[in-house]
Amino acid sequence: MSTTEFTRREFVTAMGLGAAMAALPSWATQSCAADAKKRPNILLIMADEHNASVLGCTGNPIVHTPNLDQLAQSGVVFDNCYCNSPLCVPSRLSLTSGKYVSRVGAWNNDCWLPSPDYPSLPRLLNSAGYESYLCGKMHYDATCRYGFTEIGGQMNQGHMSGHGARRSADDLGPEPGISERFNDFHTGEHSHVLDHDREVTAGVLDFLKNRKPEAAPFFLLAGYLAPHFPLIVPEKYWEEYKGKVPMPNIPAGYLDALPRNYRHLRAGFNVDDVPEEIVRKGRELYYGLTQWVDEEFGKVLQALEAAGLSENTVVIYTADHGENMGEHGLWWKNCLFDTAARVPLIVRWPGRWKGGQHREQACSLVDVAQTIAELGGAVTPEDWNGDSLVEWLDHPTEFWKDLAVSEYYAHNIASGYAMIRMGQFKYVYHTPADANHPAERELYDLVADPGELNNLAGKPEFAEKLSFLHANLVEELGENPDKTEERCRKDYAAGYARDDLKGKKRKREERREQSE
């Protein structure tokens, strides 16, 4: 039996992980201070909206990312890592909680975890003798830090309502014109992204400069916004890429054949018929913004070296999701094509792993959460998703599950959808929008069709593969996505009961009524 023929339960049973974790005592998360001091510091640098293909160390010959490329030369690159939801808040809450978004109600950007004291990655590390710090954006509600101590300023000031909606299944007509977001495709020295990220760098550098050698090991999450739109970047970074970035590959008739939900994304975000000059400029600016933020990462890595902390600090670089950049006729994120769902992942610990390595099989950010916990000597709850990458990092030929799951239940769609990547195949299931619009499916052979332009789901010869992957998706999530969509709609209708949002909710309802 090949590795792609394992179900998730069979894998866990074969590896003995279920029994091993169940046997661990509750006090196993505790650690004496002396023991903790022997463990590495952990620095997690998280970008926002970084398309995994726009990175030198993953084979892009155009973009300049020397600092991340250097990190890769001394670390391990995971070529097929996926976020667990291609949207900011759900992806970050999944990483924080170690669970898929459908299991913690992280449906959209207006959500939080089930409680402010919910079991979380920073809390586990704190209990194991670490000190967990957050510098920058994690898109948390203003009332929640989930075990982090925030430094560098208060950058998480959301007020989540828990509400959401679905578009009417047949409402596929775009509004006149194109999205106002395209107005923010230009050069400039300042934007809320650029200014925010400069503050993050300053906060991290101050922390590293003043960290005492005798202090407890730290888990520091540096949350950057770039290369997220608005695509505003100083002129010299745009000049670097003018005329060099190829245009999206969109075959004739392709857009009309997209699944209904993706056509809704095009209509809802007003990205239909974007002029070619705007597409070209946006892609060039995105490359420039990626180079700009790479320089910010370089400042952090240099400060780590200057503080004498590099050898005993695990550095992890990743992003919450990607950016479509006009591919598949889409912009921003929200879909489950690799442009939005696949994220960069680089892990470096010079004292343990040889640099310049790559791992090709699929993994996801819940696996990263498990990895950080293991490196910190913490034991995760049995109900967490994901598996630690540590053994695979230690032994490149070690068996790995080669599996990733991602979900999207947020805005500008008619119904939620979920994806599983197993081996060379990716399967996406779109739940029924209503009684008159049944489920839709996507199936891609990522070896033969890395651009995901040839949907194999309707071909009879792939019926068995489709059934196999759907069964594995349901088993991995623990629930049929149809049921998940029902729960999501109920949660959206109920929202959160919080007094501080009553005025904001009333204004939002008034705006909605005026627009209908």
Would you say 488 and 409 are in contact if contact means Cβ atoms under 8 Å apart?
yes
- pLDDT at residue 57 is higher than 90: yes
Mean pLDDT of 94-105: 98
* Nearest C-alpha neighbor of 112 from the set 135, 84, 136, 146: 146
Rounded mean pLDDT of the chain? 91
pLDDT tens sequence across 434-460: 999 999 999 999 999 999 999 999 999
Domain annotation covers residue 280: yes
pLDDT band at 2 (very low <50, low <70, confident <90, very high): very low
| pLDDT value of residue 38 | 79
- pLDDT at residue 180 is higher than 60: yes
For the chain, the distance separating the N- and C-terminal CA atoms, rounded to the nearest angstrom, is: 55
Higher pLDDT, 187 or 12: 187
| pLDDT value of residue 175 | 81
Mean pLDDT of 208-237: 96
- Of the candidate ranges 31-40, 64-73, 231-240, 244-253, the one whose mean pLDDT is the lowest: 31-40
- pLDDT at residue 211 is higher than 90: yes
pLDDT band at 116 (very low <50, low <70, confident <90, very high): very high
Say which residues have a Cβ less than 8 Å from residue 444's Cβ, sequence separation at least 6: 425, 426, 452, 454, 455, 456
Mean pLDDT of 482-500: 94
| pLDDT value of residue 213 | 82
Backbone angles phi, psi at 493, to 5 degrees: -65, -35
Q: E-strand spans in 349-507?
A: 357-364, 403-408, 417-422, 425-430, 440-445
Domain annotation covers residue 341: yes
| pLDDT value of residue 501 | 59
- pLDDT at residue 21 is higher than 90: no
SS3 148: coil
Q: What separation in angstroms does the CA of 329 have from each of 41, 248, 307, 326, 492?
A: 42, 8, 46, 5, 28
Say which residues have a Cβ less than 8 Å from residue 224's Cβ, sequence separation at least 6: 45, 46, 47, 48, 136, 137, 196, 197, 200, 293, 296, 297
| pLDDT value of residue 502 | 55
Domain annotation covers residue 167: yes
SS3 440: strand
Domain annotation covers residue 372: yes
pLDDT band at 507 (very low <50, low <70, confident <90, very high): low
Q: Output the CA angle 80-101-287, nearest 5 degrees.
A: 45
| pLDDT value of residue 174 | 76
Domain annotation covers residue 419: no
Domain annotation covers residue 154: yes
Mean pLDDT of 102-109: 98
pLDDT band at 42 (very low <50, low <70, confident <90, very high): very high
- pLDDT at residue 510 is higher than 80: no
Q: What separation in angstroms does the CA of 492 have from each of 95, 99, 142, 410?
A: 22, 20, 20, 10
- pLDDT at residue 108 is higher than 50: yes
- pLDDT at residue 483 is higher than 90: yes
Mean pLDDT of 194-202: 98
pLDDT tens sequence across 370-391: 999 999 999 999 999 999 999 9
- pLDDT at residue 299 is higher than 90: yes
- pLDDT at residue 509 is higher than 60: no
Alpha-carbon distance of 63 to 368, in angstroms, equals 26
Amino acid letter, 271:
V
Alpha-carbon distance of 203 to 208, in angstroms, equals 9
Domain annotation covers residue 174: yes
SS3 114: coil
Taking the CB of residue 142, how many other CB atoms lie within 10 A of it? 12
- pLDDT at residue 34 is higher than 60: no
H or E element in which residue 223 lies: strand 218-223
- CATH number, residue 177: 3.40.720.10
Which string of DSSP letters, residue by residue, matches 296-331? HHHHHHHHHHHTT-STTEEEEEEES----TTGGG--
Report the predicted TM-score, pTM, of the whole model to 2 decimal places. 0.91
Domain annotation covers residue 415: no
Question: Which structural domain range is residue 351 located in?
Answer: 30-406
- pLDDT at residue 3 is higher than 80: no
User: Total structural domains in the chain?
Assistant: 1
- Of the candidate ranges 125-134, 210-219, 324-333, 413-422, the one whose mean pLDDT is the lowest: 210-219
Say which residues have a Cβ less than 8 Å from residue 336's Cβ, sequence separation at least 6: 86, 406, 408, 417, 419, 426, 428, 442
Mean pLDDT of 304-322: 96
| pLDDT value of residue 6 | 39
Amino acid letter, 82:
Y
- pLDDT at residue 11 is higher than 50: no
